[in-house]
Amino acid sequence: DQQVKQNSPSLSVQEGRISILNCDYTNSMFDYFLWYKKYPAEGPTFLISISSIKDKNEDGRFTVFLNKSAKHLSLHIVPSQPGDSAVYFCAASERTQKLVFGQGTRLTINP
């Protein structure tokens, strides 16, 4: 039973446009959500997080939106840059800090 799902294995976006990555979860006890970015042969790099008491968190070009009723979160990157090409993982936890990860979405930014 996959508690965190990223239904799009890949996404292609033109440079300068908005990238939207989506994530759904099933466990209503999750109260902390994170996005990580991963390049080949490197560990995941933390991007941005959001607590369940908020519905939006912004950090520069990155914004995470949380819709608790729909059990859905999304990561918006605007404007998209070539260096954003990577695999993006969403993760969730119940504050026990045992993160549950999605399968990842490979984002490709085209010049």
d(CA 100, CA 20): 21
Residues near another protein, by CB under 8 A = 4, 34, 36, 41-46, 49, 89, 91, 95-104
Strand partners, 87: 38, 106
Residue 36 beta carbon to another protein: minimum distance, rounded to whole angstroms: 8
Dihedrals phi, psi of 82, to nearest 5 degrees = -55, -35
CB nearer another protein, residue 41 or residue 70 = 41
Residue 66 beta carbon to another protein: minimum distance, rounded to whole angstroms: 16
CB nearer another protein, residue 62 or residue 101 = 101
Dihedrals phi, psi of 56, to nearest 5 degrees = -155, 140
What are the C-alpha distances in Å from 4 to residues 14, 37, 73? 27, 16, 10
CB nearer another protein, residue 13 or residue 44 = 44
3-class state of residue 104 by DSSP: coil
Residue 16 beta carbon to another protein: minimum distance, rounded to whole angstroms: 28
Residue 17 beta carbon to another protein: minimum distance, rounded to whole angstroms: 27
